[in-house]
Amino acid sequence: MRARLAKVLIMKKLTLGKILQSQGFGTKKSCHYMVLDGLVEVDGGLVDDVHAEFDPMEQGGLKFKVDGAAWIYHEYVYVALNKPAGVECSRRPKHHRGVLSLLPDQFTERDVQPVGRLDHDTTGLLLLSDDGNFIHAQSHPKRHVPKTYVATTQDPVTPELVAQLSAGVKLTDEPDPLAAQARQLSSHEIEITLDMGKYHQVKRMLTAAGHHCMALRRSAIGGLTVEALGLEEGGWTYLTPEQLGLLVAA
């Protein structure tokens, strides 16, 4: 992240056409036509010169409007989304709507993608970005970024279940038992924190411990919680530098 910030500090002025294109508003030609057609305002004033130059990081990000919609320039997009159920974490969804359909079309244009995946029926905190280094740092198993889930179980949660998950359960395709931090939240809810997620790990660990997972929600990544972000299901927000600092290995 420090390298990214250093790059921002030395960024030079860009033409308005290049700024629009970098933010996902289309091809060079289509962005030029947006300007020529009088659809772009910068700092409250109409700009119809595609070659007009601006400092994109001026005052923390150039403020502009496209066809009346307000935007702020971001060199890289870092987004938190409270994912609802029935949504696939894929740029090419097969059976359900794709997660990018919950975000502005411009994010798809600039190749924003999920950082890791949540099952289509799993809800909660999901990160998305177009910064490859950030995606790698957050998703690589060797980084051990802790992720916290709240599972709703069919049968009541017991102290024995918490102890069993904490000690480790054996999955059929894993050479060693997998353990997790676990604590009971209510009669049918258990909080589970993993520092290296395997495929369907929470659901499979609960099954191995003799419990069926009825619903699963990711509540936190590192020190960033969906509750602190105040996002309703389907809602999203840009992450601030302070919020990014809560993510381990960010």
Are 161 and 60 within one domain?
Answer: no
User: pTM above 0.75?
Assistant: yes
**Count of domains forming the chain:** 3
- Mark which of 72, 93, 117 sits at the end of a domain: 72
- Mark which of 39, 57, 72 sits at the end of a domain: 72
The active-site residue out of 105, 119, 131, 176 is 119
Bridge partners, residue 218, by sequence: 124, 149
Tell me which residue range forms the domain holding 52.
2-72
Are 43 and 152 within one domain?
Answer: no
- Mark which of 23, 46, 72 sits at the end of a domain: 72
Residue 240 inside a domain? The answer is: yes
What is the separation of C-alpha 166 from the centre of its chain, rounded to a whole number of angstroms? 28
Query: Tens of pLDDT along 196-207?
Result: 777 889 999 999
Are 193 and 136 within one domain?
Answer: no
Are 119 and 240 within one domain?
Answer: yes
Contacts 24+ apart (CB under 8 A), 69-77: 71/23, 73/19, 73/23, 74/23, 74/238, 75/4, 75/7, 75/8, 75/11, 75/22, 76/4, 76/129, 76/130, 76/131, 76/134, 77/107, 77/110, 77/112, 77/128, 77/129, 77/130, 77/131, 77/238
Are 167 and 133 within one domain?
Answer: no
Whether the Cβ atoms of residue 85 and residue 121 lie closer than 8 Å to each other? yes
Query: Tens of pLDDT along 134-157?
Result: 998 888 767 778 999 999 999 999
Q: Which residues of 169-193 are buried (b: 16+ CB within 10 A; e: fewer)?
A: bebeeeeeebebebeeeeebebbbe
Query: Tens of pLDDT along 35-77?
Result: 999 999 998 899 999 999 999 988 789 999 999 999 999 999 9
Domain of 7: which CATH number? Answer: 3.10.290.10
Catalytic (active site) residue 119: yes
Are 133 and 179 within one domain?
Answer: no
Domain of 169: which CATH number? Answer: 3.30.70.1560
Residue 153 inside a domain? The answer is: yes
For residue 185, name the pLDDT band (cuts at 50, 70, 90).
Answer: very high
Residue 233 inside a domain? The answer is: yes
